[in-house]
Structure 1
Amino acid sequence: MSTNIHSAQPSLLGYRFQPFYALIVLWNESEDDLDEVLIEDDDDVTLKGNDFTKLYQLKHSLGSSSSLTVKNDEFWKTIRIWSQFANSPTHQFYFVTNDTVQPSSPLIKLVKADMDRESIVNLMTVEAERVIGEREKAVAAETEPLPYSKRVAGCESFLNLSMEERLKLIEKITIRPNNFNILQIHNEVIKNLKRIVVGKLRYLIANRLLEWWDIRTIDPKIRIRKVDMLFQLQSLIGQFQDNNLPDDYSKQNPISIDAELGGFMEKQIDLVNGRFHRKKRAAIARWRARNQREKWIREDILNAIELEEYDEVLVETWSDKHGPMKDDLIDQPELLCQQKGLELLEWVHSDAHLYINPIRSEWKQHFLMHGSYQQMAEELKVGWHPKYREMLSDD
């Protein structure tokens, strides 16, 4: 997740919770691969299918829970939103909360399916009339501030419906109490992965799926189909096969290019007159490769020995080209040395992958090779100019 949720304000936590809950909804409650989820559309989360629309109002909290009653302000604020859809034959409504509903509470009928709800309509009608009545008394008495400011709009919307429409609305509502919070999202994803992924891979794949989802939902108006989520999930699972590796950095960039420049890597490119854009390309590749290698080792996906063996192949292949080039350019003009060195640098970026096997047979990303070469250029294990060692020996 891109935001430090442990230090975020409660209002921000609720906002950040919406897209992650949308992921769980899309995963568990869609009925077709083409169903799609939206955030902050008709409600906090909306799930749309061919013949249904499900609205989810989320009441998120990290604090201790309380008992939900018919007097709850947030519940009535939600009734105001949903009342406009009372006559819709395709809408369903879900009030998702960390609070509890006591078994003795009348609202338990909105938690359990297939229970008569006429008594709930009557109870809510009485409560709405009480709120409106007390507001009117306060207005007549010129009392300030007026009571029930958070609840009154929902009460008015409910009373504006006929008794038949009120029942239609209430029959579409489900309360989901004791809901998980944003700190438990990772566990919810792991629960779903238990059906299809084994062992420690659940934790690693859950991390990457949430990172992907977080990026996809930066735009709150985006619509994501279940098939899109499933495709990404299958891709992630495939990356953890024995002949492949997860790709975490091919689409990432360093915050600052300048911070990645300098040192022997840049000087080596200067020796062959490679100029700024080749330096930038090298810096990005090295940053990606360095971070990817560190993450593989940190997560025990790949061991250091395998990476060392891969680097040995890179050095040997480079030496097969650099050695003969160096021999051919003895006593040749500096301009020609620069030209041939630049060609070798370009070969690393454009053609080396045609001659060197990837670190795993199904690994398709070239940045690991490009960036590893640039890191070795920083360490003077490889170079582009035929006399790079002599020319940089005094630095």
Structure 2
Amino acid sequence: MAGGSKFDATASMVGYLYQCRFALLKALQSTRDAPGAEISIERFDDVAFEQNGDPFELIQTKHHLAGKGSLSDASTDLWKTVRVWAERITADPATVLSSRFFLITTATAPSGSAASLLKTDCRDEATALARLEASAAMSRSETNAPALEAFAALTPALRLSLLKAMTVIDAASNVVDLRGDIEAELHHAAKTQHVPVLVERLEGWWFSQVIASLSVVGAPPIPVIAVEAQIEELRDSFQRDALPVDFADFDVPRVILDEHDGRLFVRQLRNIEVAPKRIEWAIRDYYRAFEQRSRWTRDDLLVDNELQRYERALIESWEPRFESACEECARRDEADRIAAGKLVFQWAEREADFPLRSVRQRFLTHGSFHILANRLALGWHPDFRTMEGGND
């Protein structure tokens, strides 16, 4: 929409995603520096690291679209951050001694500004304090007023102590570039071409952890060691003899079950009078296997036509059982032919166990049988090819 909408929440949404993604990057870095720490979001601050329930690192993140944003002495970003920390110190003055404070922003601090004097190099907290106090004295900003009051409520000594504990990191990576920073942290965890895929799975796990943490009042923070354990699990799954499994526990919604109800592999099951509940399970396995195989293919994790070889193994194991069933009921009535088809399907449903590389998952074997049945590469009723007559 031209000009945008006053209700547009894009910036705030991106800001929150930035906050969560930055927390993951910091968690990865902490697996080396502070493996015993725990990380929280929106608990003590935007992001916080804590030990035994006490925060030792408080982080404010500020993200701006298209590189905009100000870190001048009158900057709203800067003063909002100062307000959060000043109010915390007012409530507990010991915080300024036990915690470090970080402002991470995609904006750039102008040379000579208070923010620039609080960066990691060339620090001058006394001059920064003087600039902030001068800016506060001249300010007429209603937006900054609460922050100015909170800062003024601190004693001069506490104001200086806050700035000594505070570090500004400006021109930080934006929400998109953070992904590259995370990949760089994990360059050792998989082959170069597989690192983006590993990070995608790690982020999926991380965001689920964040959502779970935010959804429950009083939920515990996320241990850094849990991040390290997840990385180890993903690393193992990307070894040459392994494949990551993503859909083993996927809860297939009713709408997908209904959408697949008319597919050829389902009609094949109805032709041998399989009960509705077992058909639902078949659709579930079909969907999980289809999505898993598709993801492996998209992520370029399959090599040397191994999916085709896997399907050939399934077909060749099915063929003698199917032909034997056909021979035994060649001159019998339809009820016997249905019974024969049921026996073949029962073998595939209950006994067949074919791993693909290191993956030995029921849904993969049984779902792959249904994928083949959907292509009429195999079937259950002795007359399945003539009964269906073609693919859908």
TM range (shorter): 0.7 to 0.9
| 1:161-310 matches, cutoff 5 A | 161-219=154-212, 221=214, 223-252=221-250, 253=252, 256-303=256-303, 305-310=305-310
Match of 1:365 among 361, 365, 368: 361
Give the SS at the match of 1:33: coil
Aligned to 2:18: 17
Tell me: CA distance 1:78–1:66, structure 2 relative to 1, closer, same or farther (3 Å).
closer
Tell me: CA distance 1:291–1:342, structure 2 relative to 1, closer, same or farther (3 Å).
same
User: How far did 1:330 drift?
Assistant: 4.2
User: How far did 1:333 drift?
Assistant: 5.8
User: How far did 1:390 drift?
Assistant: 4.5
Distance 1:283 1:66 in 2: 51
Q: Deviations over 1:289-348 (max 9, x none)?
A: 223323333333214722111111101112232222333344556555545533443432
User: How far did 1:24 drift?
Assistant: 0.5
Q: Deviations over 1:92-129 (max 9, x none)?
A: 21111111123433432311268452332333233333
Distance 2:365 2:151 in 1: 64
Give the SS at the match of 1:148: coil
Q: Which amino acid aligns with 1:10?
A: A
Q: CA RMSD in A?
A: 2.7
In percent, how many aligned pairs have the same letter?
26
Tell me: CA distance 1:148–1:321, structure 2 relative to 1, closer, same or farther (3 Å).
same
| 1:300-339 matches, cutoff 5 A | 300-303=300-303, 305-331=305-331, 334-335=334-335, 337-339=337-339
Aligned to 1:74: 77
Tell me: CA distance 1:289–1:83, structure 2 relative to 1, closer, same or farther (3 Å).
same
Aligned to 1:150: 143
Aligned to 1:40: 42
Distance 1:119 1:44 in 2: 27
Tell me: CA distance 1:73–1:58, structure 2 relative to 1, closer, same or farther (3 Å).
same
Distance 1:58 1:39 in 2: 11
TM-score by length of 2: 0.85
Q: Deviations over 1:167-203 (max 9, x none)?
A: 2222221111001111112211111122444421222
Aligned to 2:132: 124
Tell me: CA distance 1:349–1:149, structure 2 relative to 1, closer, same or farther (3 Å).
farther
Distance 1:165 1:43 in 2: 19
Distance 1:22 1:245 in 2: 27
Please tell me whether residue 105 in structure 1 is matched to residue 113 in structure 2: yes
Distance 1:195 1:305 in 2: 27
User: How far did 1:267 drift?
Assistant: 1.1
User: How far did 1:29 drift?
Assistant: 3.5
Tell me: CA distance 1:104–1:123, structure 2 relative to 1, closer, same or farther (3 Å).
closer
| Structure 1: gaps (5+ residues) | 1-6, 132-146
Give the SS at the match of 2:107: coil
Q: Deviations over 1:49-74 (max 9, x none)?
A: 34643221111012234552221112
Asked if the contact 1:190/1:206 (under 8 Å) is kept, the reply is yes
Give the SS at the match of 2:85: helix
Aligned to 1:384: 380
Give the SS at the match of 2:45: coil
Tell me: CA distance 1:220–1:315, structure 2 relative to 1, closer, same or farther (3 Å).
same
Give the SS at the match of 1:53: strand
Distance 1:39 1:169 in 2: 22
Give the SS at the match of 1:200: helix
Tell me: CA distance 1:127–1:118, structure 2 relative to 1, closer, same or farther (3 Å).
same
TM-score by length of 1: 0.84
Q: Which amino acid aligns with 2:238?
A: F
Tell me: CA distance 1:377–1:92, structure 2 relative to 1, closer, same or farther (3 Å).
same
Give the SS at the match of 1:119: helix
Match of 1:83 among 78, 86, 91: 86
Distance 2:9 2:305 in 1: 40
Asked if the contact 2:71/2:77 (under 8 Å) is kept, the reply is no
Tell me: CA distance 1:341–1:123, structure 2 relative to 1, closer, same or farther (3 Å).
same
Distance 2:28 2:227 in 1: 8
Asked if the contact 1:236/1:246 (under 8 Å) is kept, the reply is yes
Distance 1:103 1:149 in 2: 26
